[in-house]
Amino acid sequence: MAQTTENQHLREEFNRWAESGRGEGMERDHLPITLPVLDRMQLSPAESVLDVGCGAGWLLRLLAVPVTEGRVVGMDVSDEMVRHARSNCADLPHVMVVPGSVDEIPWENDFFTRVISVESAYYWPDPAAGLREVFRVLRPGGSAWILINYYRDNPHCHQWGALLTIPTHLLSADEWAGLFRGAGFTSVEHACIPDPTAGPTEYTGRWFRDAAQLAAFRAIGALLVHGTKPGL
Ligand SMILES: C[S@@+](CC[C@H](N)C(=O)[O-])C[C@H]1O[C@@H](n2cnc3c(N)ncnc32)[C@H](O)[C@@H]1O
């Protein structure tokens, strides 16, 4: 893995998250926005799928349901997240988890039919370079699916940047789509994925001002950007 200072900070921060159980805990928040993406992807049994920033591996287990004959690979910059994901997927022989950063994906060219990434891409030190690597490991005709909750067009998440202890990129949907095109992707589209989860009447966490802001955030929803590697 590239030993950059940025990767070192990411590894240390997300190792702390993993050690405190936040890896597994993210499933509750990310599942409602991820299920509609899996629905759109329409995975078939023989596909090879990479999950970039797989965290504790709950999505790897979901991907392994339709992908019965192919391969599901999780990759994460945090070795503690990798350890958790390996343990959580130990009963699934066609799932493997590798340490690695998106700026240097430890895999050969033209391999995967799909790459998915949930709530990770705004942490990547250089999102344009990360998308070029995603493009490299996809085979022609394969597609990339990036889902993020922190983006400019949803004003109810902008406060997260100051609350997080690691650098983030607050880009608009059009900027993300431009990065996809710059990496070589075609048929690039983006959409908002609202979160249907019923909100609390009172919010006591630190990420939102109050319950009304959480509801407004979920109503706009996450940003999904996807594109295809041409060449088939
Ligand atoms: C907010 S967590 C989301 C984890 C998981 N996708 C989920 O939804 O539960 C972000 C994850 O992205 C990983 N990550 C951040 N930057 C990365 C990079 N440059 N390369 C690979 N993984 C990265 C982190 O280690 C962390 O596990």
Rg (CA), the chain: 17
Question: Which residues 6+ apart lie within 8 Å of 117 measured at CB?
Answer: 51, 52, 53, 102, 134, 144, 145, 146, 147
- As a whole number of angstroms, the distance between CA 157 and CA 165 comes to 15
Residues touching ligand 1 (Cβ under 6 Å) are 10, 14, 26, 30, 52-55, 76-78, 81, 101-102, 118-120, 123-124
- Report phi then psi at 211, rounded to 5: -60, -35
The kind and range of the H/E element at 182 are: helix 173-183
pLDDT recorded at residue 3: 62
The mean pLDDT value of the chain amounts to 97
Q: Is residue 209's pLDDT more than 70?
A: yes
pLDDT tens for each residue of 146-159: 999 999 999 999 99
φ/ψ bin of 42: left (φ > 0), alpha (ψ from -120 to 50), beta (otherwise): left
Q: 176-203 burial, b for 16+ CB within 10 Å, e for fewer?
A: bbebbeebbbeebebeebebeeebeeeb
- Report phi then psi at 64, rounded to 5: -70, -10
Cα(67) to centroid(ligand 1), Å:
22
The residue ranges of every structural domain in the chain are 5-228
Specify the residue with its C-alpha closest to ligand 1, atom 13. 53
Choice from 30, 31, 97, 123 to test ligand 1 binding pocket (greatest atom count within 8 A of CB): 123
Identity of residue 152: R
The answer to whether 211 and 200 are in contact (CB under 8 A) is yes
φ/ψ bin of 187: left (φ > 0), alpha (ψ from -120 to 50), beta (otherwise): left
Q: Is residue 2's pLDDT more than 70?
A: no
Specify the residue with its C-alpha closest to ligand 1, atom 11. 53
- The predicted model gives 123-132 an average pLDDT of 98
Q: Given CATH 3.40.50.150, say whether it is the number of domain 5-228.
A: yes
Cα(182) to centroid(ligand 1), Å:
23
Cα(17) to centroid(ligand 1), Å:
10
- As a whole number of angstroms, the distance between CA 228 and CA 39 comes to 17
The residue behind tokens 């998440």 is: 157
Choice from 3, 4, 5, 14 to test ligand 1 binding pocket (greatest atom count within 8 A of CB): 14
199: confidence class by pLDDT, cuts 50, 70, 90: confident
pLDDT tens for each residue of 96-126: 999 999 999 999 999 999 999 999 999 999 9
